Amino acid sequence: MVRFLALLNAPRLALALVAQVALERAANLCLKQPGGVGEAARLYQRVANAHFQAFEPQRAADALCLGAKALAAAGNFEGCWALYKAACNAVYDGSEDVAQVPLKATAHETFEQAVEWCLSSSGGAIEPGSLFVEEAKILLPRLAAVARANGMEGPVNKVCAGMLRRFPPKKNDPLL
């Protein structure tokens, strides 16, 4: 029965793969055009939706990260953060035990990119208490859980060290 269902889904998955490739190429072309960044971000979102339909959350997260980078280059911080947040939620939303989630070997990189972007941009105001620094603090436990599940302690240590260098903790900091 399972093989029969897989055969029924095969054409749909093949069509989704063709659509993903076409949308990704179109998004890459939009990035090269003047003023095409917004359209590229929308196309990357469509690529991510196609990956979700094909049950490929990590590839969806990768597409959302590409869209986020495009929006960051255009200075759209809120849109960039929305895509990074969606990418992290696609990989691991924290609602269940990380051991129960099928993670790819590069799952931690999605969180690492999002946290590093938050720390480097912080919406133009790099100071403790700014929106994106607070969002980075919220993502850190999920980054740690995903990295540990994949046996990758290095990314957690690297991001935490960068955060501590930029924002030395105060005595009453909840992260201590």
List, for residues 147-159, the tens digit of each pLDDT value: 888 887 776 677 6
116-158: pLDDT as tens digits? 888 777 544 445 456 677 788 788 888 888 888 888 777 667 7
Question: Is 3 or 89 the better-scoring residue by pLDDT?
Answer: 89
Question: Is 122 or 66 the better-scoring residue by pLDDT?
Answer: 66
| DSSP conformational letter for 97 | -
Cα distances from 172 to residues 119, 121, 168, in angstroms, run 20, 25, 12
Average pLDDT along the chain: 74
Contacts by residues 138-142 (CB-CB < 8 Å, ≥ 24 positions apart): 139/88, 139/111, 139/114, 139/115, 140/115, 140/175, 141/94, 142/88, 142/92, 142/94, 142/111
Q: How confident is the model at residue 17 (pLDDT cuts 50, 70, 90)?
A: low
pLDDT of residue 80: 85
Question: Is 165 or 38 the better-scoring residue by pLDDT?
Answer: 38
